[in-house]
Structure 1
């Protein structure tokens, strides 16, 4: 099972759309978003591409009620939760959290995959039997290029995505 990973998209709809298109081309069947969508209109590319979304809120998601309403509009395959949120996906225990500092080490240790955001920096590391992944910033505002990732849930392999070209330079 291939899962798209996003975080910190901060309303940059063209980048969200292009990252999602790369994910669809890469065989992704679901996207996990680690928060900071910001405005409800940033969910539109998920609806347009009929791409299911599992997400948590970040610190910059102002109108959570409007984001929840937007998530339920259209194809209805979007679910947003408070951070952190733990669930079982493809037989793996997954923790989705905006800021990793908000969870205790014990919470991390009980999961096979931990997806987080907040730092805007893509990274992948192993901690014991757990895989920790930050897909970076889907917006590209801080580091100059929108990023995301594709996770192969069966093998825990990560493929980082980075949009290049003059249209993405900040």
Structure 2
């Protein structure tokens, strides 16, 4: 099972759309978002492209009720939760969280994969038998290029995506 990973999209809708299109081309069946969408309109590309979304809220998601309403107004495959939230995906235990500092190590250890955001830096590392993945910043506001990732849950291979055209530079 291939899943797309996003975080910290901070209202940059064109970047979200482009990253989703690359994920679709890469064979993802669902996208997990580790928070900081910011505004409800940031969910529109998920609806337009019929991409199922599992997400958690981040610190910059001020109007969570409006985000929930936008999630429910789409095609019905968008679910948003408080962070952290555990999922069983493809037979794997996955923890989705905005900021790793918000959970105790024991919560991390109980999962095969932990997807997180907050730092805006793409990263993949292991803690014992747990893989930790941060897809970076879907907005590109801090580091100059929007990023995301594709995770193959079966092989635990991670492919990082980076939008590099001149329209994405600051």
| Residues 76-130 of structure 1: CA deviation (Å, up to 9, x unaligned) | 1000000000111111000000000000000000000000000000000011000
Taking the TM superposition and a 5 Å limit, the aligned residue runs for 1:14-163 are 14-163=14-163
Paired residues, number: 170
Please list every run of at least 4 consecutive aligned residues from structure 1 whose deviation after the TM superposition is greater than 3 angstroms. Answer: none
| Structure 1 segments unaligned to the other structure (5+ residues) | none
Distance (Å, rounded) in 1 between the aligned partners of 2:9 and 2:74: 20
1:74 Cα shift? 2.1
Distance 2:72 2:35 in 1: 17
Query: Aligned partners of 1:83, 1:53: CA distance in 2, in Å?
Result: 15
- Distance in 2 (alpha carbons) for counterparts of 1:17 and 1:133: 21
Give the RMSD, CA atoms, in angstroms. 0.4
C-alpha distance in structure 2 between counterparts of 1:77 and 1:66, whole Å = 17
Distance 1:131 1:25 in 2: 24
Q: 3-state DSSP class of the match of 2:66?
A: helix
TM-score (norm. length: structure 2): 0.99
In structure 2, distance between residues paired with 1:6 and 1:33:
5
SS in 2 for 1:108: helix
Corresponding position: 1:2 with 2:6: no
Structure 2 gaps of 5+ residues are none
Counterparts of 2:139 and 2:58, CA distance in 1: 14
